[in-house]
């Protein structure tokens, strides 16, 4: 029997006290023998006994009176071992799971200890004995051990055991309400905001990510020195009121919520709140609970109700005072109600924000379903009509259409006459089929209509495909599957960041400040006017119902319109007459450089199909620069050969890390000249960044490089200067998040278990930081900070205290994320060993190495759709920069590489804050890049690190 495979597990940590040195020594020997424990440390008055699953601390406090009572208890129980069940005689016991109960039985026989066994001593499933302190100690071969002894030092009873059976629960305290203290979690000492009370509620339809939003709001409120409340069951909870519906939450109450779908505090449609009497009750109940501010996570209807509630607040509390339902003091104290909105809706139908909480999770479900459906469609050469949610908003259908290369979409914002949409759809499907496509996917938004407002159902589409084209057609209605499951990484992070900002907003808000709505624009969290956002959102539906479709489209954000134009462009490919005249048509090449990343194939597919629709000739340089220099690996791209690329991971045209100078710059220039490329799109990571710099620098020597060149960042490390987003980073986040969710579940199943997960990313801590926020990791170590001994020691103490406070409750596995390059001395495995040793039996740590799993399989919908958007912008960049550099290509003497306009024709396409921008490679390489470290000088995710730390109560050592 070895300690590495523990004989027993169960109660993870307990403390026992002996009252004489002789009993102390006997107890040490007893537990080491019976439970096969080892001594971690030993002193004259304290010792730790442990295996990898459990630990027992034994203290010595010499006390003759207590020792005599313990001896009397031992003799009393021993005398009744043959005729009384010890479990009835005592109120506390220690019980462990055992891997080999027969071994324990043989041990008791060997040391001749008192014992009881059930159902029989010959074949026991439960086995009990007495330790030298007089405690009942048991082992069981059943699934769950049932200890009723506290994990904190047990209080030895001053009286003899009662003959009454214990009514205590058969597990250690499972109450979730552990009050936040000054020590755990680590909170600021003071807050300038005072003890305000902030409540959060979820309303309307549920959406993945709502739990992350509630968690962030509760913990941020506590972090800011406020009291945190939740309103159960949405507005219905406000109307009903009382402690059952308006509850104060502590730090631990929301532990583990990020990885759970739906909303744990409930949501409901509430007709009563739409009436003034219902809102009057809501106001009264909030005042009775002492709430100062309310944060509502919901859709436009929920947020409309919230803003109306605030507008009516003065009159509501005046009426309550008049009717003696509140006191004058309460009226004075709660004169103003601060309200803030965070948008939780899978439809993504809120104006002024690019994304709502839950929308990308729903899109992920849709894209996976269509990927699956397309596999069976290909087998039978079938057509599938897929209905998705969306009411008055076609965002889900539109983005799913782009992400899966659907043949046709029907959305409410751009309807046609019944005859037109049928003819358009049949025309496109027929052209696709004639060119060899075996599958047909038509996506129908549930709010799809023709221009006379006649609803278009999947059955209508099915009928047209069958009767006019003779296709074997099936209908798939995804329904509430779109709402189900846990949130994707984007929604978890978005919900968390918006929750933190919502708390800041209600604390900043004055009685004269309009109610804010927390939005995201490109990559930046922003505050908008709640009432204006709701008004614009409702205007879209009104415009559609009044048949003013042009106005409805204009009220959608510019990104929606851009996506729609992109879909129509890439969907026509080479099937229609090109848009540009022959003298404007270009030869444009695309190359992948660096490691594979999700979305690379989507970028190639979108670039090529958009080029075809414009009239350009798209070329692919296969296998990177070495492929070109050694094998002249240039191929023109055709539509049929790229079918399905939107949904594929990896790189279909091949990639490697070699730069042009490493491959052969002269040969690359030769082939550029041979094929007379008019533009170049590079898709890749830091090697691609260096490649663009080398090509731009070589323009003075090689005229072939005097063409517009643009880099689309694509790397899971997200370390390309000039952009806060790289293709593949979202796919990698999801892959690592799913891995961590599984690992955390494993850790939760074993008491006192933490996992150290090794994270890729080179010298960039982006992946570790964002995954830490998404999964609620207790700590993350990144290359930008390294691992200091002081911080590591503090993290171990925080973890140990967290495990001690868990008291056996579920969902308590802990994660530590470590970027591979955060420390050369401490690998994930070595870090786990150090943490286990320093924990002194209070918990143990294991390492987990996800490796190249982090690159992900199929690209996420975000990477697919953003790849399309960025690829089309890159082609547009090449089109607009032609005139600037055309003359420079023809005349060496006139070429001036220092000319700012010419310099601008080699650029990185990136997301910065709330904008998509082109930045010249020379500016970025010379001033914004740390080339030696392969990193940008500005770390844009630093603020996210601080939020990830404070949402888990991590204490940062300065």
Asked if 851 and 884 sit in the same domain, the reply is: no
Q: In the predicted model, is pLDDT for residue 712 greater than 90?
A: yes
Residue 49 placed within a domain: yes
Residue 274 placed within a domain: yes
Q: In the predicted model, is pLDDT for residue 178 greater than 50?
A: no
Residue 776 placed within a domain: yes
Count of structural domains within the chain: 5
Domain stops at, among 443, 465, 483: 483
**Average of per-residue pLDDT across 370-384:** 93
Q: Average model confidence (pLDDT) for the chain?
A: 88
833 pLDDT tier (thresholds 50, 70, 90): very high
* Domain membership of residue 337 as a residue range: 197-355+488-536
Residue 158 placed within a domain: no
Q: Detail the residues annotated as belonging to a binding site.
A: 205, 269-270, 299-302, 345-347, 382, 389-391, 446, 474, 480-483, 657, 715-719, 753, 760-762, 846, 852-855, 934
Helix (H) or strand (E) holding 339: strand 338-343
Q: What is the pLDDT of residues 307-330, one digit of tens each?
A: 899 999 999 999 999 999 999 999
Asked if 851 and 864 sit in the same domain, the reply is: no
User: What confidence score (pLDDT) does residue 41 get?
Assistant: 64
User: What confidence score (pLDDT) does residue 99 get?
Assistant: 79
**Average of per-residue pLDDT across 662-669:** 96
- CATH number of 395's domain: 3.40.50.460
User: What confidence score (pLDDT) does residue 93 get?
Assistant: 83
Q: Is the peptide bond before 185 cis (omega within 30 degrees of 0)?
A: yes
The answer to whether the beta carbons of residues 722 and 919 sit under 8 Å apart is yes
Asked if 849 and 782 sit in the same domain, the reply is: yes
486 secondary structure, DSSP code: P
Q: What is the pLDDT of residues 239-274, one digit of tens each?
A: 999 888 999 999 989 988 999 999 999 998 889 999
Asked if 593 and 703 sit in the same domain, the reply is: yes
Q: Detail the residues annotated as belonging to a binding site for Mg(2+).
A: 300
Q: In the predicted model, is pLDDT for residue 64 greater than 50?
A: yes
* Active-site position among 307, 347, 460, 844: 347
User: What confidence score (pLDDT) does residue 292 get?
Assistant: 92
% pLDDT > 90, the chain: 64
Give me the sheet containing 814-819, strands edge to edge. Answer: 779-781, 814-819, 753-759, 844-848
% pLDDT > 70, the chain: 91
418 pLDDT tier (thresholds 50, 70, 90): confident
Residue 694 placed within a domain: yes
Q: In the predicted model, is pLDDT for residue 163 greater than 70?
A: no
Question: Is 63 assigned a catalytic role?
Answer: no
Q: Detail the residues annotated as belonging to a binding site for substrate.
A: 345-347, 382, 389-391, 446, 474, 480-483
Backbone angles phi, psi at 127, to 5 degrees: -135, 125
Give the Å distances, CA to CA, from 458 to 389, 455, 473, 556: 12, 10, 11, 25
Q: In the predicted model, is pLDDT for residue 150 greater than 70?
A: no
Asked if 125 and 257 sit in the same domain, the reply is: no
**Average of per-residue pLDDT across 842-869:** 94
Q: Which two tokens stand for residue 740?
A: 């961590």
Q: Where are the alpha helices (DSSP H) in 815-860?
A: 828-839
Q: Which two tokens stand for residue 909?
A: 């396409």
Q: What is the pLDDT of residues 624-650, one digit of tens each?
A: 999 999 999 999 999 999 999 999 999
748 pLDDT tier (thresholds 50, 70, 90): confident
Least confident of 190-194, 307-311, 678-682: 190-194
**Average of per-residue pLDDT across 119-131:** 84
User: What confidence score (pLDDT) does residue 157 get?
Assistant: 34
**Average of per-residue pLDDT across 53-61:** 83
**Average of per-residue pLDDT across 276-305:** 94
**Average of per-residue pLDDT across 745-759:** 88
User: What confidence score (pLDDT) does residue 85 get?
Assistant: 83
User: In 105-120, which positions are buried (b, 16+ CB within 10 angstroms) versus exposed (e)?
Assistant: bebbeeeebbbbbeee
Asked if 320 and 227 sit in the same domain, the reply is: yes
The C-alpha atoms of residue 872 and residue 570 are separated, in whole angstroms, by 9
- CATH number of 77's domain: 3.10.180.10
Q: In the predicted model, is pLDDT for residue 801 greater than 90?
A: no
User: What confidence score (pLDDT) does residue 404 get?
Assistant: 95
Asked if 132 and 231 sit in the same domain, the reply is: no
Domain stops at, among 140, 165, 180: 140
DSSP string covering 12-72: -EEEEEESSHHHHHHHHHHHHHHS--EEEEE-SSEEEEE-SS-EEEEEE---HHHHHHHHH
Asked if 403 and 341 sit in the same domain, the reply is: no
Q: Please give the residue that has the higher pLDDT: either 906 or 111.
A: 906
Residue 912 placed within a domain: yes
Q: Detail the residues annotated as belonging to a binding site for ATP.
A: 205, 269-270, 299-302
Residue 184 placed within a domain: no
Q: What is the pLDDT of residues 506-547, one digit of tens each?
A: 999 888 888 999 999 888 899 999 999 988 888 888 888 888
Q: In the predicted model, is pLDDT for residue 1 greater than 70?
A: no
The C-alpha atoms of residue 441 and residue 407 are separated, in whole angstroms, by 5
The C-alpha atoms of residue 18 and residue 61 are separated, in whole angstroms, by 6
- CATH number of 325's domain: 3.40.50.450
Instruction: Name the one residue in this structure whose structure tokens are 């990185």.
Output: 908
The C-alpha atoms of residue 139 and residue 461 are separated, in whole angstroms, by 65
Residue 541 placed within a domain: no
Give the Å distances, CA to CA, from 823 to 789, 799, 820, 836: 11, 20, 7, 18
Asked if 364 and 338 sit in the same domain, the reply is: no
Q: How many CB atoms lie within 10 A of CB 368?
A: 16
Asked if 723 and 782 sit in the same domain, the reply is: no
**Average of per-residue pLDDT across 431-435:** 92
The answer to whether the beta carbons of residues 233 and 266 sit under 8 Å apart is yes
Domain stops at, among 809, 833, 855: 855
Nearest to 469 by CA among 519, 418, 434, 511: 434
State the burial class of residue 951 (Cβ atoms within 10 Å of its Cβ: 0-12, 13-18, 19+).
buried
Q: Please give the residue that has the higher pLDDT: either 502 or 147.
A: 502
The C-alpha atoms of residue 312 and residue 279 are separated, in whole angstroms, by 9
CA 104 to chain centre: 45
Asked if 37 and 128 sit in the same domain, the reply is: yes
State the burial class of residue 751 (Cβ atoms within 10 Å of its Cβ: 0-12, 13-18, 19+).
buried
Q: What is the pLDDT of residues 860-909, one digit of tens each?
A: 999 999 999 999 999 999 999 998 887 766 666 677 888 888 999 999 99
Asked if 738 and 846 sit in the same domain, the reply is: yes
Q: Where are the beta strands (DSSP E) in 673-735?
A: 679-684, 709-713
Which stretch, 40-54, 340-354, 410-424, 600-614, has highest mean pLDDT?
Answer: 600-614
User: What confidence score (pLDDT) does residue 817 get?
Assistant: 97
């Amino acid at each position: 029997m070895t300690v590495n495979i523990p004989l027993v597990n169960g109660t993870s940590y307990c403390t026992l006290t002996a009252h004489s040195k002789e009993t102390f020594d006997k107890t040490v020997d007893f537990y080491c023998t019976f439970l096969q424990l080892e001594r971690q440390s030993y002193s004259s008055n304290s010792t730790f006994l442990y295996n990898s699953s459990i630990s027992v601390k034994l203290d010595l406090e010499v006390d003759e009176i207590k020792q005599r009572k313990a001896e009397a208890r031992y003799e009393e129980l021993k005398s009744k071992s043959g005729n009384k069940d010890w479990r009835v005689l005592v109120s506390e016991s220690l019980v462990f799971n055992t891997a080999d109960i027969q071994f324990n039985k043989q041990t008791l026989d060997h040391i001749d200890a008192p014992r009881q066994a059930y159902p029989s001593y010959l074949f026991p499933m439960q086995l009990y004995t007495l330790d030298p302190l007089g405690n009942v100690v048991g082992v069981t071969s059943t699934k769950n051990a049932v200890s009723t002894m506290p994990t904190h030092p047990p209080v030895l009873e001053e009286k003899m055991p009662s003959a009454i059976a214990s009514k205590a629960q058969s597990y250690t305290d499972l109450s979730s309400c552990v009050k936040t203290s000054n020590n755990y979690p680590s909170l600021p000492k003071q807050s300038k905001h005072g003890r305000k009370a902030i409540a959060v509620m979820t309303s309307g339809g549920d959406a993945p990510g709502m739990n992350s939003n509630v968690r962030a709001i509760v913990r941020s409120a506590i972090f800011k020195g406020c009291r945190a409340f939740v309103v159960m069951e949405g507005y219905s909870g406000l109307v009903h009121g009382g402690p059952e519906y308006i509850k104060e939450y502590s730090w631990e109450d929301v532990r583990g919520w990020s990885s759970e779908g739906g909303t744990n505090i409930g949501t409901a449609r509430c007709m009563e709140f739409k009436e003034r009497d219902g809102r009057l009750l809501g106001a009264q109940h909030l005042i009775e609970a002492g709430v100062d501010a309310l944060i509502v996570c919901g859709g436009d209807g929920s947020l409309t109700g919230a803003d109306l509630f605030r507008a009516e607040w003065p009159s509501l509390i005046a009426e309550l005072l008049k009717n003696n339902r509140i006191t004058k003091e309460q009226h004075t104290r709660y004169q103003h109600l601060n309200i803030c909105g965070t948008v939780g809706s899978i439809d993504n139908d809120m104006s002024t924000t690019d994304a709502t909480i839950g929308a990308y999770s729903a899109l992920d479900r849709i894209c996976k379903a269509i990927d699956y459906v397309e596999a069976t469609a290909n087998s039978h050469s079938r057509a599938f009509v897929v209905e998705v949610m969306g009411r008055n908003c076609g965002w889900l259908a539109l983005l799913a259409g782009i992400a899966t290369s659907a043949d046709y979409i029907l959305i409410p914002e751009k309807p046609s006459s019944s005859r037109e949409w049928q003819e358009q759809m049949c025309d496109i499907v027929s052209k696709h089929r004639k060119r060899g496509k075996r599958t047909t996917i038509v996506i129908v938004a549930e709010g799809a209509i023709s221009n006379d407002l006649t609803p278009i159902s999947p059955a209508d589409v099915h009928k047209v495909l069958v009767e006019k084209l003779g296709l074997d057609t099936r209908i798939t209605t995804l329904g509430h599957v779109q709402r189900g499951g846990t949130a994707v990484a984007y929604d978890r992070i978005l919900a968390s960041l918006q929750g933190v900002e919502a708390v800041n907003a209600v604390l900043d808000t004055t009685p004269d400040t309009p109610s804010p709505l927390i939005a995201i624009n490109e990559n930046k969290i922003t505050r908008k006017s709640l009432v204006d956002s709701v008004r614009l959102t409702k205007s879209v539906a009104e415009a559609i119902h009044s048949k003013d479709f042009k106005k409805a489209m204009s009220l959608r954000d510019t990104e929606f319109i851009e996506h729609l134009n992109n879909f129509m462009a890439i969907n026509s490919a080479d099937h229609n007459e090109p848009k540009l005249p022959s003298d404007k048509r270009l030869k444009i090449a695309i190359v992948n450089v660096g490691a594979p990343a999700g979305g690379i194939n989507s970028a190639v597919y979108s670039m090529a199909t958009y080029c075809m629709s414009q009239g350009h000739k798209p070329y692919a340089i296969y296998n990177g620069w070495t492929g070109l220099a050694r094998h002249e690996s240039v191929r023109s791209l055709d539509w049929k050969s790229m079918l399905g690329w939107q949904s594929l991971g990896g790189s279909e045209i091949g990639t490697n890390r070699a730069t042009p100078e490493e491959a052969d710059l002269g040969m690359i220039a030769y082939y550029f000249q041979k094929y007379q490329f008019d533009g170049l799109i590079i898709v890749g990571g830091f090697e691609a960044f260096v490649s663009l710099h080398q090509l731009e620098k070589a323009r003075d020597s090689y005229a072939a490089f005097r063409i517009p060149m643009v880099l689309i960042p694509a790397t899971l490390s997200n370390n390309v200067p000039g952009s806060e987003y790289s293709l593949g980073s979202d796919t990698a986040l999801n892959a690592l998040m799913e891995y961590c969710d599984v690992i955390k579940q494993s850790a939760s199943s074993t008491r006192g278990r933490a996992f150290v997960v090794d994270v890729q990313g080179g010298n960039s801590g982006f992946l570790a930081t964002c995954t830490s926020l998404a999964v609620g990791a207790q700590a993350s170590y990144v290359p930008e900070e390294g691992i200091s001994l002081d911080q590591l020691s503090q993290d171990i103490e925080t973890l140990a205290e967290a495990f001690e406070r868990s008291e056996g409750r579920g969902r308590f596995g802990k994660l530590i994320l470590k970027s591979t390059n955060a420390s050369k001395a401490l690998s994930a495995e070595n870090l786990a060993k150090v943490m286990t040793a320093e924990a002194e039996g209070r918990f143990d740590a294991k390492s987990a190495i996800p490796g190249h799993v982090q690159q992900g399989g199929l690209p996420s919908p975000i990477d697919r759709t953003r790849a399309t958007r960025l690829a089309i912008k890159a082609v547009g960049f090449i089109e607009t920069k032609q005139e600037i550099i055309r003359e420079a290509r023809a005349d060496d003497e006139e070429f001036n590489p220092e000319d700012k306009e010419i310099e601008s024709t080699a650029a990185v396409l990136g997301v910065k804050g709330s904008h998509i921008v082109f930045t010249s490679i020379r500016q970025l390489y010379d001033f914004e890049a740390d080339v030696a470290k392969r990193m940008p000088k500005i770390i844009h995710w630093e603020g996210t690190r601080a939020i990830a730390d404070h949402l888990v109560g991590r204490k940062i050592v300065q």
